[in-house]
Amino acid sequence: MKERYCLALAACLLTVAPPEAGAQGVPTARPVDARVETALKESKLAYGMDGGDFRLKYDLEGGRSQLVWVASGTTKLDHLEIRDVWSVAYRSKGEVPADMAIHLLQENARMILGAWQVNQGKDEYLVVFSAPVNAAADASTLAEVIEVVTLSADRIEKELTGKDEY
């Protein structure tokens, strides 16, 4: 899981830095999961690749947009194989403020699918909304999870910053 957040941080940094600035820190591409590719194509969702993960950009109402990643990599728990779908809502220097952490925990209580997570790095942190999905999810299910993650992350990004960075 930590690797996924490092990838999200790297991807996030690449979206705000010139390509030359991040070129040496780009993660090595991992094998692409054809199940995701097939589901995205069936749903007619445009995507790009980012270190082996699928990256989608959603255009939302009011001229807003949101970046969402679907992991190629999966995790197994006995017979259950899951993958993560996530989106960054906020990034800042230092440590996450206590009032923000409490607010995100309160938000988690109302979520049906997915949860807010904080990825604390050395000098900065990311606020990420992440939802697990069955690794073999059909196109409709995957598209629905992507939509939940997209709208949840954009709502909190707008609430916390009033901006549209991710």
Contacts of 159 (CB under 8 A, 6+ apart): none
Question: What domains appear along the chain, each with residue ranges and CATH number?
Answer: 2-161 (3.30.1460.10)
Distance, in Å, from the CA atom of 133 to the CA atom of 126, rounded to the nearest integer, reads 21
What pTM was computed for the model? 0.79
* pLDDT computed for residue 23 by the predictor: 34
Nearest to 151 by CA among 114, 105, 101: 114
**pLDDT of the chain along its 166 residues, tens only?**
444 434 343 333 333 322 223 333 444 456 889 999 999 999 999 999 999 999 999 999 999 999 999 999 999 999 999 999 999 999 999 999 999 999 999 999 999 999 999 998 889 999 999 999 999 999 999 999 999 999 999 999 999 988 888 8
* pLDDT computed for residue 104 by the predictor: 96
Q: How far apart are the first and last CA of the chain?
A: 21
